[in-house]
Amino acid sequence: MTDHVDYTDLLNLTATLLERGYGYTATEAQITAKVLVEADARGIPSHGVSRLAFYRANLDQGHAKPGSIPKIVHETPCSLVVDGLAGVGCYVADFTVRKAILKAKTVGVCQAAVRNSNHYGIAGYWAEIIAQEDMIGMAFTNTYIAGVPTFGNLRILGTNPIAVAIPQGNGQIFLLDMATTTVTHGKVELYDRRHKPMPHGWVVDERGKVVTDATAFEKTFYQTNFGGHLYIGGEGEESGGHKGFGLALLVELLSSGLSLGASSLNTFPKGGNGEITHFFSATRLDLFGDPSAIKDHVAEILRAIRESGKAEGHDRIYIHGEKEAEAREKALKDGVFLDEATQNYLNKLAAEYGAPSIKGLGS
C-alpha cells in the first residue's frame, strides 16, 4: 500500500461515494468532494476525506438533508441572509458565496449570513474563492461545541474559524485560515485514530485540567458537555487566552447573531437539523483605489516580512497560506498523501457502495 493517490482520482472517488452512498445530488457531491480533497492536498488532513465519517454520522442522525435547496430569507443590494434548510454544508456555502460575489461585483461589497447549514469544510477555501475574483474574501463559521471560555468549564462555543484572503500582485493570495481554538477538533481526532498523545495545552478535561490522552478526551468530549478545547492563548489570561475566546465570540455573533441562527451550544440537537451558521464577506479592491497598485503593495509588504531577520536555527519566515499552497502544488504533481487509517476507510466505503477503488489505495 502506498501513501499517495492521484488528485483527480481521489476527487472522483470521493464524489462517487457521496453520490452513491450518501444520497448527495451530483452537484452536492462534486462541490463537497472538491472541498475535502483540497484540504488533503493542502496538508490539512483533519478536514480532508477523513471527514466522510463525520458526514455519514450527520446523515444517520438526521442533521443533514441532501437535496435541500437554500432559501434567501432577507436581501438588500449589499447583503444576504440564507436559510440552508439543513442542506449539505458545502453546497449551502457555495450557493451563498456565489450570490455574494455577484452582488459585490455590482455594488462593491456584500456580506452574507447563513443559518441552518452544516459543516462546510475548510473556511479558507471559501475566502479564497472570493479572492480569486479580485476581492477581499472572508469566511467565518460556528461549529459543534468544542471550546471552554476563559475561566469556564462548560463547552459552549465552537472552534469558530476565521479565514481572510487578499489578492497579491504576483498572482498569489494571502490566506489566513485559523481556528480560534489552539487546534481544530479534527486534529484531536487524528491523534485518537493514530493512538498518539496530544501536545500539552490543546485541551482540558471536565475538571478544567490540561490532558494529552486523545482517546480519553474523545470519550469525555462526546459523553458530556464539560471540558474541551482551549482558545488561542491557552489557560487563563496570562498568555492571552481571553483574546482567543474573544475571537471565537466575534465569529459566533457574526455567524449566528446576524443570521438569527443557532449558537454553537444549540447545534446538532438530538433528532434535529445541524443548525450550523456561517458568515461571508466579499469586497472589491477597487473601492480603495487601483486594484493592481493595491495588489503590488500587498505583495511588497509580505516580501519585506518574508525577507526580514530570521531567528537562530531558522532560514525562512512563512507567510500564512504559503505552506498550504506549496503542499497543494506538490500534491498535484506527486499525489495526495493519505494515512493508512484514511486509506482503509476509503476502501471500506468503496466496497460498501460498489465504487471502484483507485490506484494507490491498495486493498
Summarised one tens digit per residue, pLDDT across range 315-334 is 999 999 999 999 999 999 99
**Domain contains 276:** yes
By residue count, the chain amounts to: 363
**Domain contains 223:** no
Task: Kindly list the strands in the beta sheet with 228-229, ordered across the sheet, starting from the edge strand earlier in the chain.
Answer: 210-211, 203-204, 228-229
Beta bridge partners, 204, equal 210, 228
78 and 160 in a single domain? The answer is yes
Distance CA 180, CA 174 (A): 19
77 and 146 in a single domain? The answer is yes
111 and 259 in a single domain? The answer is yes
**Domain contains 224:** no
158 and 240 in a single domain? The answer is yes
**Domain contains 125:** yes
Q: Phi first, then psi: give them for residue 320, nearest 5 degrees.
A: -55, 130
What is the DSSP track for 161-202? -EEEEEE-TTS-EEEEEE-SBSS-HHHHHHHHHTT-PPPTTS
Which segments of the chain have a pLDDT < 50? Answer: none
**Domain contains 358:** yes
141 and 274 in a single domain? The answer is yes
346 and 298 in a single domain? The answer is no
The residue whose grid cell reads 471552554 is: 148
Distance CA 156, CA 145 (A): 5
Choosing from 290, 306, 322, the residue where a domain stops is 306
Distance CA 207, CA 209 (A): 5
Q: Closest Cα to residue 178, out of 141, 203, 210, 215? A: 141
User: Residue 93 has what pLDDT?
Assistant: 98
Domain hosting residue 275, numbered range: 67-182+230-306
User: Residue 363 has what pLDDT?
Assistant: 56
**Domain contains 199:** no
Distance CA 144, CA 349 (A): 25
H or E element that contains 76: strand 71-76
Number of domains into which the chain is organized: 2
Per the CB < 8 A criterion, the answer to whether 103 and 78 are in contact is yes
AA letter at 240: G
287 and 352 in a single domain? The answer is no
User: Residue 306 has what pLDDT?
Assistant: 96
pTM above 0.85, yes or no: yes
User: Residue 20 has what pLDDT?
Assistant: 97
Per the CB < 8 A criterion, the answer to whether 329 and 323 are in contact is no
Helix pair 26-41, 89-107: axis angle to 10 deg? 90
298 and 278 in a single domain? The answer is yes
Per the CB < 8 A criterion, the answer to whether 198 and 191 are in contact is yes
270 and 130 in a single domain? The answer is yes
32 and 95 in a single domain? The answer is no
H or E element that contains 80: strand 79-83
**Domain contains 271:** yes
State the CB neighbour count (10 A cutoff) for residue 243: 14
AA letter at 62: G
Report the chain's terminal Cα–Cα distance, integer Å. Answer: 7
DSSP state of 257: I
The residue whose grid cell reads 490543546 is: 202
CATH number at residue 130: 3.30.1370.60
5 and 108 in a single domain? The answer is no
Q: Is the dihedral of CA 64, 57, 36, 192 positive or negative?
A: positive
Distance CA 313, CA 12 (A): 42
Q: Cα Rg for the chain, rounded, in angstroms?
A: 20
CATH number at residue 360: 1.10.1530.10
1 and 113 in a single domain? The answer is no
**Domain contains 317:** no
